[in-house]
Structure 1
Amino acid sequence: MTPFKKVLLFCHRWLGFISGLVVFIVSITGCIFCFQDEIQDAIHHHRTVQNTGKPYVQPSQLINEVKKAYPGASSDFIYYYGAERPAAVYANLGKDIYELVYLNPYTGKITYHEKLQTNFFVIVEYIHLYLLLPPAIGKWVVGVSVIIFMVIMITGLILWWPKRKSDRKRSFTIKWGGRWRRINYDLHNVLGFYATSIAIILSITGLAIAFEPVSKAIYNTANVGRNIKYEDEVTEPKSDSLKRAGLANKPVVDIAFAYARQQSPGAEMFLIHNDPALSGAIGVGAYPTSMRYAGASGYEFDKYNGKLLKTYAYDKKSPGLKLNEMNYDIHVGQIGGLTTKIIAFLASLICASLPITGFIIWLGKRKKSKSKGKKVRDAVHHKTHRRTVQASSF
């Protein structure tokens, strides 16, 4: 082994020791989270409703129903998930207590409610993002470990890559008929090779969720450094609370929803941000596919008179902004439907296995090195003893 590869092996091994446990936890929770929508749909009947073909009830009606059940709660977000899915209101009860209240979008009646803190997949997501540590600390522990893991994947690829073309075919397959140590070795190297490209994509998109500079770097790279004036202007329009002349004659949240539906008739899902702050605006996101967050158009309205403040039309967005808005769908594997979900699931499972198989390889080499050293010492002692006996016989 060349000195360069010896340095790489040292880095690969010790960086693996440093980040291995975190990588395992983050990968296995990511694995579980990949199919969270499908699993929850299968076990929770409240996540589906019968499509009656009638118009949706107004957002204001959903808000009123929630306020009857939870007096004093603010309805920060309203969701219309799709024609065969319930509407939902994210109710802020204060003191960091939240309820997600599900309602029938055709009748406005409450069908189910849950505390998000007790949802299994919300807990899994929190572990994935923060390891159940305070977010300010946890995101850095996870983020640094993910960066280290990317370095490990690259160094591992360099170390493993076969020199001779004749060895490559054998190197790309697992020798299932070999001894268990050989199978473990192949599982670490071969599966690691196949998962590297997907793992790096998942790592970068995960870092972009946690760290704004990474998201900004992706934005600038996709835009080839161009400054997009349309997107750099006021990104969060605000209502003027001092000028309330011309107040709307109906709830602004209903005006906003109706306008978004008219401008985005093909959208299946709508997310309404009903900002409770005095200076805030009401925003509506229109998403072309239910439970997918890419390809959205957005609309912002004055919360007092319903005046349209800004439109974020999808076809006018820059490549960088479009890519950033795809980030979540890419990270969880749903960007291409079931196929990419399976790919993300398998890649995450492989990533979770790498610290384990790598540790077994290191343990085996360590034991082998000790055993070899013992044999050499025994051989030297045996030869020395024989010479001593022979010398004493004269």
Structure 2
Amino acid sequence: MAARLGHNIKAVLRQVHSIAGLALALLLSLIALTGAIISFEDEIVDHLNAGIMQVLPRSTPALMPDELVARLKAAQDFGKVSAVTLSSDPAAAVHVRFGRDEQGGRPASLYLDPYDARVLGSPRGEEFFATVRRLHRWLLIPGDAKGWGRQVTGVAALGLIVMLVSGLVLRWPRRAGSVKMWLKPNLGLSGRGLHRTLHAVIGTWVLLIYLVMTLTGLWYSFDWYKDGVAWLLSRPHVAAAKMQPKMPAKAPRVAAVSEPARPIGFDQAWTTFQREEGDRFSRALLTLPAGPGTAIRIRSWGKDSTLEATRDEFRVDAATGQLVAADRYADKTFGEKIIAAVYDIHRGAILGWPGKLAFMIAAALMPLFAITGLLLYLSRRRLRRPAQPPLGLLVPGE
């Protein structure tokens, strides 16, 4: 009786595994391959643009960021500057990013000489990787993070979790303690047997990596998932702050005599940040507020930082230079550090370059499971099809 029940459960799981695989194979392959392409984006872009990211250090002090922006606009108006990346390294160029124009496009970013604001060039590969990244996260569906592409990739991630769990149960060997049964493919087989061993054994190799990818990828797809993780891992007041709904900005009251809004700059915030951090940072990204506020967000990374997660974040009032908030990585709890490292965990960077390489290879293998899974499904259909007697053996009436 127990054996029959187990057989029925496996039959249902096989159907679920097959249906989910057939429905999501192409989508998962696309998401995985684009993820593999951007695995070493930073290293590739740095290599391609080594000639414009460094300058010859000089004895004269570097220009303040507002002066850099002013000189850039005086030479050629590329658009509204939205962010600048400054460095404590006197040989590092300044990276300037621009906001979107009226048509929704964004001009290519630029590297500037920090001593005279001379344009060094636009980084090669930036547009390519930006497109691949949008394809990976949102499938190029309009709206980007605000569109419904993020929900589609989230559903695909949930489907992959279903396939991973059902696939593990289906391939559970009778000798579960045998490492050879779990991890050694039988490459001497052919046809259906070869497809099965590739699908099952190599799937076991990457199962844990795929599970990590999906569980961290869901963070970017569903707010309920993100809020739940924050509630589970953050301190209560931090989790409550993260779950507060974003209130729409109130329309400003119209005064009797309206005065044009005074543009804000980077200098006050940059001075405050330097006073707070001294020479402990390697680079800092200063981003102007997208709305009507005056608080500039500053993200900074230490000199020994190798991960995106190990950053400090500050909010500084651009008008007064007052430090509004400081969120230092060293002050986070273990759970909050896990939350900060979601992106690094998702791409394997938390394990250094070997981890990134392992995650890249695992992602690149996704089409293998799509192809072998489809071949296994088709072969099962052929085996189940009742054999037809040869036409020559048919008699009238049959």
The answer on 1:256 being equivalent to 2:269 is yes
In the other structure, the counterpart of 2:259 is: none
In the other structure, the counterpart of 1:111 is: 120
In the other structure, the counterpart of 2:219 is: 208
Alignment of 1:87-236 (within 5 A): 87-92=94-99, 94-95=101-102, 96-99=104-107, 100-113=109-122, 119-134=127-142, 135=144, 136-165=147-176, 169-223=180-234, 226-228=235-237, 232=241
Question: What is the CA deviation profile of residues 86-117 of structure 1, one whole-angstrom value per residue up to 9, with x for unaligned ones?
Answer: 3211112522222212213354321113699x
State the number of aligned residues.
Answer: 367
Give the SS at the match of 2:326: strand
Give the SS at the match of 1:272: strand
Question: What is the CA deviation profile of residues 310-353 of structure 1, one whole-angstrom value per residue up to 9, with x for unaligned ones?
Answer: 22122223434322221222222222321111111022122332
Alignment of 1:281-292 (within 5 A): 281-288=295-302, 292=307
Task: Report the CA distance shift for 1:9/1:276 in structure 2 as closer, same or farther (over 3 A).
Answer: closer
Q: CA deviation at 1:227?
A: 0.6
In the other structure, the counterpart of 1:57 is: 63
Q: Which amino acid aligns with 1:89?
A: V
In the other structure, the counterpart of 1:78 is: 84
CA distance in 1, matches of 2:296, 2:37: 34
Q: Which amino acid aligns with 1:312?
A: D
In the other structure, the counterpart of 2:334 is: 319
Task: Report the CA distance shift for 1:23/1:300 in structure 2 as closer, same or farther (over 3 A).
Answer: same
Identity of aligned residues (%): 23
Q: CA deviation at 1:280?
A: 3.1
Q: Which amino acid aligns with 1:173?
A: K
CA distance in 1, matches of 2:214, 2:88: 30
CA distance in 2, matches of 1:212, 1:111: 40
The answer on 1:274 being equivalent to 2:288 is yes
CA contact (8 A) 2:87 2:284 kept: yes
The answer on 1:16 being equivalent to 2:29 is no
Q: TM-score, normalised by structure 1?
A: 0.82
C-alpha RMSD of matched pairs (Å): 3.4
Q: Quick check: which one's helix share is greater?
A: 1
Of the structure 1 ranges 104-113 and 17-26, higher mean CA displacement relative to structure 2 is found in 104-113
Q: CA deviation at 1:367?
A: 2.6
**Can you give the 5+ residue segments of structure 1 that lack an aligned partner in the other structure?**
243-250, 386-394
Q: Which amino acid aligns with 1:258?
A: T
**Can you give the 5+ residue segments of structure 2 that lack an aligned partner in the other structure?**
1-5, 254-263
CA contact (8 A) 2:94 2:114 kept: yes
In the other structure, the counterpart of 1:245 is: none
CA distance in 2, matches of 1:122, 1:72: 19
CA distance in 2, matches of 1:353, 1:140: 25
Task: Report the CA distance shift for 1:354/1:57 in structure 2 as closer, same or farther (over 3 A).
Answer: farther
CA distance in 1, matches of 2:160, 2:366: 9
Task: Report the CA distance shift for 1:93/1:133 in structure 2 as closer, same or farther (over 3 A).
Answer: closer
Q: CA deviation at 1:189?
A: 0.7
In the other structure, the counterpart of 2:370 is: 355
Q: Which amino acid aligns with 1:319?
A: F
Task: Report the CA distance shift for 1:219/1:160 in structure 2 as closer, same or farther (over 3 A).
Answer: same
Give the SS at the match of 2:164: helix
CA contact (8 A) 1:268 1:286 kept: yes
Q: CA deviation at 1:159?
A: 0.7
Alignment of 1:290-305 (within 5 A): 292-305=307-320
Q: CA deviation at 1:363?
A: 1.6
CA distance in 1, matches of 2:65, 2:75: 16
The answer on 1:31 being equivalent to 2:39 is no
Task: Report the CA distance shift for 1:364/1:235 in structure 2 as closer, same or farther (over 3 A).
Answer: closer
Give the SS at the match of 1:336: helix
Task: Report the CA distance shift for 1:229/1:155 in structure 2 as closer, same or farther (over 3 A).
Answer: closer
Q: TM-score, normalised by structure 2?
A: 0.81
Q: Which amino acid aligns with 2:112?
A: L
CA contact (8 A) 1:271 1:284 kept: yes
CA contact (8 A) 2:231 2:240 kept: no
Question: What is the CA deviation profile of residues 19-73 of structure 1, one whole-angstrom value per residue up to 9, with x for unaligned ones?
Answer: 1111010001001110112222333345531463766532223322332355383
Task: Report the CA distance shift for 1:235/1:364 in structure 2 as closer, same or farther (over 3 A).
Answer: closer
CA contact (8 A) 2:68 2:116 kept: no
Q: CA deviation at 1:205?
A: 1.6
CA contact (8 A) 2:151 2:222 kept: no
CA distance in 2, matches of 1:229, 1:132: 33
**Larger of the two Rg values belongs to structure:** 1
CA distance in 1, matches of 2:56, 2:161: 46
